[in-house]
Amino acid sequence: MKPDHAMNETGNAGRRPPVRRGRLALVCAAVLAVASASAFGEAGELLYNGIRLPETWPVPDRSPKAYEPMPVPYLQAPPSVIPIDVGRQLFVDDFLIEKTTLTRTFHHAKEFEGNPLLTPTTRYEMARSNEEGPQEGVVYLGHGGVFYDPPEKLFKMWYTAGWRGGLAYATSRDAIHWQRPELNLAGGNLLLRPGLDDAGWDNAVWLDLEAANPGERIKFLTQRSASEHSLQVSADNRKWTGEVETGPAGDYCSFFYNPFRKVWVHSIKREGPNGRTRYYAESPKFLEKNVYKRSVFWVGADRLDAPDPAIGDKAQLYSLNGVAYESLILGMFYIHLGPNNRIAGQGRYPKLTELKLGFSRDGFHWDRPDRDAFIPASRQAGTWNRGYLHSTTGICLVVGDWLYFPYTGYSGESPRGWEGMYSGASVGLAVLRRDGFASMDAGPEGGVLTTRPVIFSGRQLFVNVDCPEGVLRVEVLDAEGNPIEGLTEAQSLPVSADRTLRAINWRTGEDLSALAGRPVRFRFHLTNGRLYAFWVSPDTSGASHGYMAAGGPGFDGTVDTRGAAAYRDAAGLLPPSLRRP
């Protein structure tokens, strides 16, 4: 797969989508307001995608006793017209689909062949701890944080050095080869020493590229005691301020920023009738005292999370991270499958957590259609990722055609041979095609997908498609479902390619600018291929103006304003196994 580098390369260096203003914006807003009101009634906040929230938010009516899958209201009653100006539109659910004869397939990340990428080597990482039995040889994200910093053109990793050790820091030019800089702070590459006066038991970090105050660019959450956490901020990793208490919770709490609503979301661990679960709290400011005290029950594992057949324990939700990716919130669910700490500790092997995905279009309700592990544990003695997998804040990086997922795996054995439940942790990488969570597929007989009515202010249609042995054609339908002359299937230039960024054109040379502000449907005709996403860009660069998770090379910030140009910037950083001709 490769981007369409032959297209016009006019990127936009701004930080926000260049949406048309004036009359067109008013028309779009009016259409959206009418559509949303008819679907949901006049209630709470209206989101970027046409979803209207209930007046009471977050929703407080779920019980921790529930072991059924979480209901998703916007899938039960989607907006009658869906705005698509923000981001690539992914087919992870039926939100965008009115009808189809294509088949949805979910895809899983693949382990990078060079794993693990960061292994315990320093004296801090090799220090033996007696917490819950002797452990040693630990480099773990827990949540940590892995982000791309555009001004410095560096990937940055915050992690814990040693079991419940200090907060450490590493950098990389390509997210594959990592260096531990000498910081002259707490020793080696440590930012904060281990111990509750500095780094606590568990740490989460967020690189906030949109911070209005440069002194708050780095956000930090650490656990201060068995039940207390605190929030801090820093400009440069060196001086930390804040020390704002969050309120009581269990370990492995985390947080993320929801840019669609401009709120900080706290993922709070609490025990319940079904074991470990997550509670939700939000705030427009990060340093809010006692934010956990006004949380509501959010989500846990449910009956569709099957037990491991060799263990048999009921699944629990060990942790949950989130990040804005393109037009939705991507969730990484740490599903705990056992055994309990006593059994794993006595056996001196890691307990089993695996990483599964969820998707949200309102930032609270999670659709989890695929319950197989997105990143599985090997379950094999002697492997670096035998069990106890952890993701990271930011979840994934965007590097050209690929999404990179940094994660921690535990082997249960340190480099010096010491065995323990929390021994032998390293950081590796899993990779996935960009937008590649789900595809709508067709065989030789072909198939059709028609979207619900959508509205946009752009002019050039793009797709992420894999059909080198097949054909994709696209037609545009008016509000009544009739093909629009100049943009019919017969006039569509056929696409036979494997590209994560590919323009769609018609023989007439027409673009979509005349349809801006008008509800239309797209109808995709596909044979022998997979369709992953579509979007309408304001220019021929293919910039989606969606959110780029933890960032990546070629992007100026958290939003894709550069399209094909970002692919070129990332191309030289890809390892040979991921390069495309």
Helix (H) or strand (E) holding 334: strand 328-338
Residue 125, classified by CB atoms within 10 Å of its CB into exposed (0-12), middle (13-18) or buried (19+), is: buried
List, in sequence order, the alpha helices (H) in 190-340: none
17 in the Ramachandran plot: left (φ > 0), alpha (ψ -120 to 50) or beta?
beta
Question: For 351, phi and psi rounded to 5 degrees?
Answer: -70, 175
- Please tell me the predicted confidence (pLDDT) of residue 8: 32
For residue 404, is pLDDT > 90?
yes
Distant-in-sequence, close-in-space partners of 29: CB < 8 Å, separation ≥ 6: none
Is the distance from CB of 366 to CB of 358 less than 8 angstroms?
yes
Give residues with Cβ within 8 angstroms of 411, minimum separation 6.
350, 382, 383, 384, 385, 386, 423, 424, 425, 426
The per-residue pLDDT for 386 is: 98
Rounded distance, CA 61 to CA 298, Å?
Answer: 10
Tell whether the model's pLDDT for residue 9 goes beyond 90.
no
Q: Is the pLDDT of residue 552 over 50?
A: yes
Range scoring the smallest mean pLDDT among 122-136, 168-182, 290-304, 487-501? 122-136
Query: Residue 197: what pLDDT?
Result: 61
- Quote the DSSP letter at residue 179: B
pLDDT value of residue 19: 36
The Cα angle at residue 124 between residues 237 and 251, in degrees rounded to 5: 70
**pLDDT value at position 16?**
33
| Mean pLDDT in residue range 536-542 | 96
SS3 track for 397-428? EEECCEEEEEEEEECCECCCCCECCCCCEEEE
pLDDT, tens digit (0-9, with 9 covering 90-100), for 119-174:
999 999 998 776 556 688 888 887 899 999 999 999 999 999 988 888 999 999 99
In sequence order, the β-bridge partners of residue 265 are 256, 282
pLDDT band at residue 539 using 50, 70 and 90 as cut-offs = very high
Question: Residue 455 in contact with residue 82, Cβ under 8 Å?
Answer: yes
Residue 1: the pLDDT is 55
Tokens read off for 386: 């035998």
pTM, entire model: 0.93
| pLDDT tens digits, one per residue of 186-236 | 999 999 988 756 767 789 999 999 999 999 999 999 987 777 899 999 999
Q: Are 328 and 261 in contact (CB under 8 A)?
A: no
